[in-house]
Amino acid sequence: MRDEIAIFREFVRMKGLRNTPERETIIREICATRDHFDVDELYLRLKRKKKKISKPSIYRLIPLLLEARLIQEAYFEEGHLHYEPIYGREHHCHLRCLNCGKTIEFTEEFLDKLETKLAEEYDFVIRGHKLEVFGYCSKCKLHI
């Protein structure tokens, strides 16, 4: 988390923007669990800890965190996006249960090769990928 803060400070400096204690508080909270989150849930977590952070401040910070590659979009569900911190983590994909929402993270080295292949074939500079596999988990598949 120290790293993420340092990276963000450098990021805003390079962009000519400003850092604030509110932003660092949000980043610390995101990194504290290293888990998936959405805006509302993050807001409530901060509120529970008596941090006075408004939702707009979270919404305004997210594009910066995405650009700084400290977080990424994980999946869209229940009508809103879910994000996850990614700094210092190996890239991974998600296997999700359509019934109970259980999520398993897995890594797949083949996808790097695929990126290289696509870059050549279509003359793209690849920045990343998002793979979601969905189905029913061991428990839910019995009732479906």
Partner DNA sequence: GTATGTGCAAATCATTTGCATTCTC
Partner DNA sequence: GAGAATGCAAATGATTTGCACATAC
How many chain residues bind a copy of itself (CB under 8 A)? 34
Rounded to the nearest 10 degrees, how much is the dihedral formed by the CA atoms of 19, 23, 29, 31? -40
Residue 133 touches which of DNA, a copy of itself, none (CB < 5 to 8 A by kind)? a copy of itself
Residue 109 touches which of DNA, a copy of itself, none (CB < 5 to 8 A by kind)? none
Residue 98 touches which of DNA, a copy of itself, none (CB < 5 to 8 A by kind)? a copy of itself
Q: What are phi and psi of 19, to 5 degrees?
A: -95, 155
**List 81, 89, 90, 92, residue binding a copy of itself (CB under 8 A):** 81
Q: What are phi and psi of 107, to 5 degrees?
A: -115, 150
40 lies in the binding site for a copy of itself (CB under 8 A)? no
Rounded Cα distance between 101 and 107, Å, is 19
Cβ-contact 35, 84 below 8 angstroms: yes
Residue 60: CB minimum distance to DNA, A: 5
Rounded Cα distance between 53 and 14, Å, is 25
**Nearer to a copy of itself (CB atom), residue 49 or residue 117:** 117
Rounded Cα distance between 129 and 48, Å, is 34
User: Which spans of this chain sit near a copy of itself (rule: CB under 8 A)?
Assistant: 73, 76, 81, 95, 97-98, 104, 106, 108, 110, 114-115, 118-119, 121-138, 141, 144
